[in-house]
A and B are shown apart, each in its own frame.
Chain A
């Protein structure tokens, strides 16, 4: 029953707001506020990309230079050069340049000369000495460095001549991820089929939460287990040379990814309309035949999306691979060590000079990784969306 205006003013409502149109302005504000907060999620995704790419921008623009030997201006000749030239040589912004006094500038010049003198003879005369190793050509294509017999892809950012080829990292990431998926997808999808279609309800009630419990294990713990136990066990079984290799890392990665694929695939399989299953059973098919030939094809888009999301998670997993694998070897062999992009970022950021070319290339790898997972997420989303509308349309 509506209170009269007078009564409404006398009775304090929630938050002192009276009923009726007096409540509108505050409500409107609150609703706008809610909308803005929701927009913040979009903002976050945007900010992540912007700020990670921002640190990597100089590499994209070709502004970094890691040439070992470059022309050195002797401190005595400092006054012969214009401020603009000195700023470029010393890597200062105009504001910083103005704020410095003569002595400070001299000491910066001295540092440059010392750096040049520190280079060992053998490297000064190497033909790699004048190469800017952060150019795209060296990041992507093989190059025959000094002391190597043929052009190779080398990621070796430590040392006098830093080699930043990112191809071994991509190969390593792909190797480990593919092994992980090869291991996880059949297991997870098989278990999903079993739990959603073939098992008794009581088994289902135990198995489903139990497998989802696997996702509650932090990746540090899975990596720790792989490092200490799994690696030894696998080495005894297979007898290969390198104890910590891509195979072990891939398997551990599979462990971590199984719950995700299982969850989504199981959801997809259970949301196939019961009518399908019941019709097939009525026609004389066994439960397995129903599951394999009727339900799975119907749920295929969902299962596929589960795999895509598992792939995205596998590519982005850091701690497991960090604890298990450590060298970036450019090889397609599964039993060689490998390094994924995420591991490289996590491990090498510590020693990279802040703001230096190595640091920026690591950020660039982060940006590329983000772009890759973004694309794979969009694909997964799109497929799930199509799948949902198809099913809802049929219902």
Chain B
């Protein structure tokens, strides 16, 4: 028994004394939206470059910025642009604004049940449905049935983005049901005839994706890959990586370059997002 305790203590002591900074070590922290993609990139890059170690943690865009500011991470994944407070905090911490890189596109589609006869809606109609102003399908040209609204929880970046851009900042209807993930929304919409939901454009799986019109006179655009990439589909956002300018060199810069190159971008589709348009890539 004593021996076991002694060896344990030695182990802890040995481990405690060592620091943990070694060259070729990249820390990535931040958005949970990006985490699966970030992990895939890390996996592939480390497979190609054996001397680099990449560590990916989630926690949310807020946590990513906090880590950036306290200089405990090299890269910060963010599913939204940095807020002014966060930029100010970075300036206070290391004297410069963080450098912003766009790394992928995310298009949000509006899902309805496959049996729903509607094919398209304008953005303002979608906004009104989700804020609760429009309560019945017949008001937008569908059957006479009440609309069941599915949404995400308010800690989700998807939620925030949809709220800002489609609802124009207004609050969701109190009767909107929240689901814990995009996959859950899709499942719910497929089961419920009169439902509507939103989520990443690549998750559709089984539900019907509506084409969206910017306003009454524009053509309805389908949420396909090309439409999202060329910007004609109106509901889309960038996914970002922020980095401290002082750290943006050597291994970190090489990794960032790879992510934004054709090589890195071809994995984006597997995770459900869209690759950057050619003019934004790094080579």
A contact set with B: CB distance below 8 Å: 90-92, 96, 100, 104, 107-108, 111-112, 114-115, 118, 120, 122-123, 145, 147, 154, 156-161, 163, 227, 241-244, 323, 326-331, 337, 347-356, 359
Inter-subunit contact B176/A350 (CB<8 Å): no
Q: Chain B's nearest CB lies how many Å from the CB of A109?
A: 10
Inter-subunit contact A355/B89 (CB<8 Å): yes
Contact of B84 among A118, A161, A242, A243 (CB under 8 A): A118
Contact of A326 among B32, B70, B157, B178 (CB under 8 A): B178
Q: How many A-B residue pairs have CB under 8 A?
A: 120
- Is B200 interfacial (CB 8 A cutoff)? no
- Interface pairs (23), CB distance under 8 Å: A90-B88, A112-B84, A115-B84, A123-B169, A156-B154, A157-B154, A158-B159, A158-B163, A159-B171, A241-B148, A241-B177, A242-B177, A244-B180, A337-B177, A337-B178, A349-B60, A349-B63, A350-B61, A350-B155, A351-B60, A353-B66, A354-B62, A356-B85
Please give, as numbers and ranges, the residues of chain A lying within 8 Å of B83 by CB-CB distance.
Answer: 115, 353
Contact of A350 among B63, B84, B89, B151 (CB under 8 A): B63
6 extra interchain contacts, Cβ-Cβ under 8 A, other than A327-B151, A354-B62, A354-B66?
A111-B91, A112-B88, A122-B169, A159-B163, A331-B174, A349-B63
Inter-subunit contact B160/A158 (CB<8 Å): yes
Inter-subunit contact B169/A108 (CB<8 Å): no
Please give, as numbers and ranges, the residues of chain B lying within 8 Å of A111 by CB-CB distance.
Answer: 84, 87-88, 91, 97
Inter-subunit contact B92/A120 (CB<8 Å): no
Q: Chain A's nearest CB lies how many Å from the CB of B166?
A: 13
**Chain A to chain B: the 9 pairs with minimum beta-carbon distance, closest first:** A350-B60, A115-B84, A354-B66, A327-B178, A326-B153, A326-B178, A347-B155, A351-B62, A351-B60
Inter-subunit contact B84/A114 (CB<8 Å): yes
Inter-subunit contact A350/B65 (CB<8 Å): no
CA–CA, A331 to B175, complex, Å? 10
Contact of A156 among B85, B131, B151, B171 (CB under 8 A): B171
Inter-subunit contact B92/A96 (CB<8 Å): yes
CA–CA, A242 to B168, complex, Å? 26
